[in-house]
Amino acid sequence: MADLWETPAARAWLDAAVLRHSNGVFGKISPAVIWSDVRGDDGELIVPVDPQTLVDRINSTPYALLHNHDPGRPKGRILESAQFESEGGRKFVAAVLGYYVGGDVLSFRGLGLDAEEAVSPPLLLPVLPDGIWMDFATDPREVEEEWATAVINDAPLRVSRVQLSHNSADSAHELIRVGVPFVLLVWNPLVTAIASEIGKGIYAAFKTWLQKLLDKLSERRNPILVIQSHQDDCEVSFILRGKDVGQHYAAHDAQPDAAAQAARLIAKLKARDTAARQLVYEFDKEASKWYPSYAVLNDDRIVTDKIELIAIENLPSNLSLGLSRGESNIAIIPAALDDGV
């Protein structure tokens, strides 16, 4: 699709966009075509999404560039996008991509933050409001609907089903995302004060349900479970990989302490005027504990103690940006890495 970049309006927009984002936050800025009106043999759009809706969402909400749709492997983000039409009548959406490596990458250590600080969960928790629900998201091409239905049938909360669309016939893993209120993640049986017995029952029932989900992961091929929530204007994710049930039980037991630590870390970042919009935890099976893998600040900088996390050598032929079905998970044209500007 290199010919699309010959469109004068697209080239002029690209030059201006690169200047707008050349502030040192990202180490490499590259162009990419993230959507075009290419149609399949059936005459339908290969990527069925409204281009202007796609542009509006990207330009209003930060979207990460992920390695193989893996939320634990961020490579950068889409900085800006615009819709164009080539002289030959082809409609397409162009974007400017920013890659973290080589940019202003921070570390938890460098910020003076103790990523191993032990924080105990609170002993007092609020009553859960009426009508709370949880999200359960999968791509039906990776995870059969029958399996997902069996998992959520006895969920203690109302469930909103979200269909992901990775546009990949042979995904490297099966992504399963559970979105819940943050307070559920910090509960443990030692909590002594909840305003009602009914509320206490919901906390305990969710913990039991989550353990059943961990059991069910053993039936999958190569699962990635993402437990996602929000705390103090920050999206928080806890990632479990594989189907080692024993390892997952250890992570489950340590979840309340990890959630309490995450809340403390978010508060500390905010107090330093480096507020985070995203914080991701992974479970270290060797040390049998959770650790903060990375955070993305409101100013777009990434914080991580693992520089290899953001390396762009040996990337797959496609990167992706995470959107749900109806928005679509768009594969990035691979030339973006080679045509740096």
Amino acid at 146: E
pLDDT at residue 6, as a whole number? 82
pLDDT at 324: 41
- pTM here? 0.87
82 φ/ψ sector (left φ>0, alpha ψ -120 to 50, else beta)? beta
| The pLDDT value given to residue 262 | 97
Alpha-carbon distance 19 to 261, whole Å? 39
pLDDT of residue 314: 54
Contact 295, 303 (CB under 8 A): yes
Per DSSP, the three-state class of 137 is strand
**DSSP code per residue over 244-291:** -HHHHHHHHHHHHHHHHHHHHHHHHHHHTT--EEEEEEEEETTTTEEE
DSSP per residue, 62-131: -EEEEETTEEEEEEEEEEEEEEEE-TTS-EEEEEEEEE-TTS--B-TTTTT--TT---PPPSEEPPPPTT
pLDDT of residue 46: 76
pLDDT of residue 123: 76
Half-sphere exposure of 317 (CA within 13 A, CB side): 3
Q: How far is CA 54 from CA 47, 247, 307, in A?
A: 11, 39, 31
Q: What does each of the 341 residues of the chain score in pLDDT, given as a tens digit? A: 556 778 999 999 999 999 999 989 999 999 988 888 988 888 888 777 899 999 999 999 878 998 888 999 999 999 999 999 998 899 999 999 999 999 999 999 999 999 888 998 887 777 777 788 999 999 988 999 999 999 999 999 999 999 887 655 556 789 999 999 999 999 877 665 554 555 567 888 999 999 999 999 999 999 999 999 999 999 999 999 999 999 999 999 999 999 999 999 999 999 999 999 999 999 999 999 999 999 999 999 999 999 888 887 655 555 555 544 344 344 443 333 333 33
Determine the Cα–Cα distance for residues 143 and 153; give it in Å rounded to an integer: 16
